[in-house]
Amino acid sequence: MSSEPLPTRTSRLVSPVDLHERPPVREMSPAEVVEAVKRARAAQPTWEKTPFEERARALKAAAKEMLRRRHEAVDLLLEEAGKYPHDALMTEAVGPLEFLSLWIKVARRHLRPRRLPIPKLAFPGKRAVTELVPRGVVGIIAPWNYPVATYFKPVFPALLSGNAIVVKPSEYAPRSGAWFQQVMAKHLPPHVYELVQGGREVGRALIKAGVDSLTFTGSVPSGKQVIKLCAEQMIPASVELGGKDPAIVLPDCNLERTVAGVLHWGVQNAGQDCGAIERVYVLDSIADRFIALLADAAKRLKVGRPGQPNKDIDVGPLNNPRQLEIVEAQVADALAKGAVVLAGGKKTGQGLWFEPTILDRCNHSMKVVSEETFGPVIPLMRVKDVEEAVRMANDSRYGLCASVWSEDLTRAEEIARRLEAGTVFVNNHALSGAMPFAPWTGVKDSGYGVADSEFALANYVRPRTILVDRNKTPDIFWFPKDDTLTDIGERLADAQLGKLTRVLKVPLLMKKRVKAILEFVRGRKG
């Protein structure tokens, strides 16, 4: 097998901070991907047989090592994603052990075998248990927006469940993915955690290489291709796709807190979050005050400029040149259609920086309102009442998260239940993404996949039921058929309709049936 580096695109390997070229990472061939899956499959049975508590201890040891080596992760996050230390530490590097510990509690509870409540009259002498068994080898195709924390959600439950995994990091953040795998693999049996590097073709090769399940996080077009490809392979796929999250701001909100919350969830991570606030519907009576405060705060956020110390940066750059192009194009489209820039609105600095941007007077004809932006841009729409706000919030092909901001919590919850989203927040946004016990899921084009909670386990385990029959006599419905069987069926049907006296004779009839079956088998009747 050739060890010569395959061609890599330089545009995918530049620093978001200042555009200096980063060393290329070799893309693997389809044959190498197949071999990685084979190695994982050979290693998986031993890992599956490892008791749950031992698996948990191994993963905890890895998470603790990540914490001890957290500054390595911080350095990589700056190099590959342009994340500055205070942000990288709090949103990614500090999280693995706590996240894993919570996942262990979820998995320990929900992976236990479950005894089935079998009705004694209908199924006498039977007992059954349903076990959740690992699917085998789980493929994971990761995004680039959280180059370390993105692995917490699929890797921890997949491994806790007894699977081996083969992970493809984003081609925009290959070294972060390699660092995560290297630390984890030190504490696991060989080949339980395999890594493949490359772009879209490597992802396709991974799906075709014989994995038993796939977890994908990425764009809607790519996600739809993944779903089709997985369907052709007859494997389950959990897909978490884009978002265009709305926030509804009511007149009775805590104004200053709401401004702080909307700004944070709209601009943090440079807006590169599927759960970012990307649309704001503010009622007319509070719109001027809210918008003025929001725009003023956005102007005071610090972005990178030459020679600026790391500690003075609030908002980092975009991850890659293509993403900057999308953000610039959407803002230009909005301005051409009548939007007004109140803050930001343009590229800045030497790298892929874009100013935190507040756009007023937006509408649904604009791409910045209808399409996922994934940038530090907050479009604002003024609405006359709650009905208009709900209608417009639901007028989207996305449905990941949404939020309602109001001090009337009862009313806010009522409004929240009318919004078409996987998770809806009152006076916060996207926070449950850091909670392994809370399902992270969407509707519409945001995808049907579930990350976190017991509902996510379906992508990592399958149910297997073991039924044990303790009877020494045949079941009454076995051959041959006769009038006694019909009599029993009629009596059981009547009993379900409340005619309980009809079941009194059933035990005697059942004995008669058993005798008839045994005589039939012995050749004495029939």
Q: Are 160 and 58 in contact (CB under 8 A)?
A: no
Angle value at C-alpha 37, between 449 and 175, nearest 5 degrees: 75
CB atoms within 10 A of CB 216: 28
Token readout for 180 is 């995560």
Token readout for 195 is 């890594």
CB atoms within 10 A of CB 513: 22
Handedness of CA 421, 427, 432, 438 (dihedral sign): negative
Centroid of chain to Cα 221 = 17
Beta bridge partners of 402: 424
Task: Return the CA Rg of the chain.
Answer: 28
* Distance (Å, whole) CA 266 – CA 275: 9
Let me know if 401 is a catalytic residue. Answer: no
Scanning the structure block, which residue is given the tokens 């599927």? 274
Q: How many CA atoms lie within 13 A of 370 on its CB side?
A: 7
List CB contacts of 301: < 8 A, sequence separation 6 or more.
Answer: 263, 267, 314, 315, 356
Nearest by Cα to 418 from 405, 404, 428: 404
Long-range contacts of 1-10, Cβ-Cβ distance < 8 Å, separation of 24 or more: 1/29, 1/31, 1/32
Q: Compute φ and ψ for 480, nearest 5 degrees.
A: -90, 165
Q: Are 246 and 393 in contact (CB under 8 A)?
A: yes
Q: Compute φ and ψ for 443, nearest 5 degrees.
A: -130, 175
Token readout for 501 is 């006296």
Q: Are 183 and 65 in contact (CB under 8 A)?
A: yes
Token readout for 105 is 């509690």
CB atoms within 10 A of CB 520: 16
Let me know if 274 is a catalytic residue. Answer: yes
- Determine which one of 240, 355, 371, 420 is catalytic: 240
Token readout for 433 is 């993404």
- Determine which one of 253, 274, 362, 401 is catalytic: 274
Catalytic residues: 240, 274
